[in-house]
A and B are shown apart, each in its own frame.
Chain A
């Protein structure tokens, strides 16, 4: 049985017998691993952010939205109802008078109104979310107030704003927040700060009393959405179908569908990025195979001598596989290091652009089409590090298999005869 320590030390020495070539080989693996590692970390980040968003949506099972007639409030008999509205979005509004009909459906536990309007706070784009205090929390879940208090009045100039926004604007509870909505400046008294754990939400959503928002925007009696909470969430599909049969112009969106769509999107994204990363690593593998083959051809005499002295084909095979493994491991470690840096640098060059309407950040799939730029925060885990290193080593080992096999088949007599 060969001395394993000797085998390891000679393999390590031989792996770097041609330094420049070895470094280039390591670089080819490192580039692939770096790409794979950074992409996985970024996808993990996106997944975590989305999961947080989705979690915050779980309270209301159905969202009613009017997507049938632009500017035409559903439930109104005449387009006059929409006249004079400054429409920030392409979405239509809903007449709030249908709420009692919704609430009268047996399976509905509670329903609430929501009006989402685009506005600016010192040139920072925000979405004003007009809610009915108490009712909104019952359906959509409580805001996590970390400072001050939540909304209580129905028609007063008060606002609860996100932690990130309050930091950006450098104001505090008790200060006045001047916003621009419909080209009109309005002063709101900041009474509370919420924290959602997601920068999107906190930057975008400013909660104000519904009737106050309706008044200042001339949308009395109109809302963007109606959020519905059911007694039994498993009834969501049948209740949604029933509501749509009563109000064909409305669209009842199931939250589970949204969650599924988001998960599917993330899954597709993950597969796509993983494929790109793997292709890069495999390309690196060809580099290893090339280097190892050249090594075998260059050292064929040395292999012949070893075989003549008494090295079994297994020992020669192992020696070259260990060399490939060393290159792969060092390439993997370097790749993880570079990938770590890339994972934090890349998002700055490719910010995520998102329409707030589709962002769960609106809590309610709110009606604004506000485009938001945000940065993905990568999530780096030991699992990702282990996966990247394992892939680096595995690809190198596979790439080294053929050269190592060639080396193990060297017949000493042929090498020595042609000395």
Chain B
């Protein structure tokens, strides 16, 4: 497991709404290596978000186990998962999920504050990160004063600020134009190189898929194929 950052075995997720039973995931197995950019590729409703939520400990599988860095997170309690997420997992959502009442600095420093890092230390770390992301001039802006690309970069800054093992991204380019999407992927590549962090990205954007070293093709809750990014784009660009 030394080189494996994330391992999921036989994941099943069933949603029960009244008499309707939906199998969102059906026996999914996944391995993500350290420092890898891994794509989860599939159309809307294929189960990508459900898979990311389970890997990130936001949701529990009906069946199956998930390891992150040798910790079986599917065994952890709700509060243990919260602590685990704070230290080990970063999230980037399609709709950015920044807190609108807080400035860029305040949004990015949230995980550090929750970890008990002092204000001075937080500010130094956040300002350095914002500088690297080219967002320093927006440090005191509120999210609604930023462009979509800038908001997504702030969300990434928040995800990487605690130097987590894994960053999970759900349709990160879903609200970005193609130029911003390309810029974002360049940035992800930079972060991966610098911090050796593992990215698992749920997407159906070819710009993103092309950057992935490997991509799992997900359809109706099942992995149907594993390809490298370029091959996945060529074969499933119309997914």
Contacts and interface: CB of A to CB of B under 8 A. Distances in A.
Interface of A: 1-3, 5-7, 13-14, 17, 301-302, 305-315, 412-413, 416, 419
Interface in B85-103: 85-87, 91, 93, 95, 97-101
A309 B85 contact: yes
7 contacts: A3-B116, A305-B99, A307-B82, A309-B91, A311-B114, A315-B114, A413-B58
A315 B91 CA distance: 20
Contacts of A3: 113-114, 116-119, 122
A44 to B, nearest CB: 44
B23 to A, nearest CB: 17
A309 B79 contact: no
Given A5-B119, A413-B58, A416-B58, A310 B82 contact: yes
Nearest to B79: A312
Given A5-B119, A412-B58, A416-B93, A310 B99 contact: no
A309 B110 contact: yes
B110 A306 contact: yes
Contacts of A313: 78-79, 82
Contacts of A2: 113-116
Nearest to B81: A310
A413 B59 contact: yes
B53 A310 contact: no
Given A3-B113, A307-B82, A413 B53 contact: yes
A176 B7 CA distance: 108
A310 B82 CA distance: 5
B113 A308 contact: no
A4 to B, nearest CB: 8
Contact of B85 (A5, A305, A308): A308
B101 A309 contact: no
Given A2-B114, A413-B53, A310 B79 contact: no
B200 to A, nearest CB: 16
Contacts of A311: 82, 86, 114
B7 to A, nearest CB: 21
A309 B59 contact: no
Which of B79, B86, B95 has the most C-beta atoms of chain A within 10 angstroms of its own C-beta?
B86
B61 interface: no
B48 interface: no
Interface string B24-45: 0000000000000000000000
Contacts of A413: 53, 58-59
A412 B113 CA distance: 19
B83 interface: yes
